[in-house]
Amino acid sequence: MKRRLYVLKVMLDNIEPEIWRQFVVPSDITLDRLHDIIQIVMGWTDSHLHEFSIEGKRYTEYMESPEDGEEDGLYRLGNLVKRKGASFEYTYDFGDNWRHHLILETTDYYLRPHDEPILFLTGERACPPEDVGGIG
């Protein structure tokens, strides 16, 4: 069976002009690995906690109690986000509160010869420096 590939667009919320990236990931990627990819494409340093919010549920790496959400490494993107146009949120650094909006742009991306299943496509502008206190 051929692996399904998603094209995602991630945008940093509440920043003008828009800071965004477009990239390809396999639909069966776990959320903790998706976090790693977002860190790389956005230029963050993975020095802080993160959380995904999908259809009202929270997924994170750090859980002290059930109220903290579900463990992100146990869930695959394609089981949670299936429709083209579906969107979800990713927050990085709860102190600075860097909120990102992700949109599933394509559910049937085809690789060219020599492409890898994780692929950066395009984007614009650099993320702000970390630990600056957030947008304000």
The pLDDT of residue 25 is 97
Domains in the chain: boundaries = 8-124
- 97: which 2 tokens? 């509160």
CB 100 within 8 A of CB 13: yes
The pLDDT of residue 3 is 79
pLDDT of 63 higher than 80: no
Phi-psi region of 114 (alpha: psi -120 to 50; beta: other; left: phi over 0): left
Predicted TM-score (pTM) of the model is 0.93
The pLDDT of residue 136 is 75
Reply yes or no on domain 8-124 having CATH 3.10.290.30.
yes
**pLDDT tens digits, residue range 75-117?**
999 999 999 999 999 999 999 999 999 999 999 998 888 888 8
pLDDT of 131 higher than 80: yes
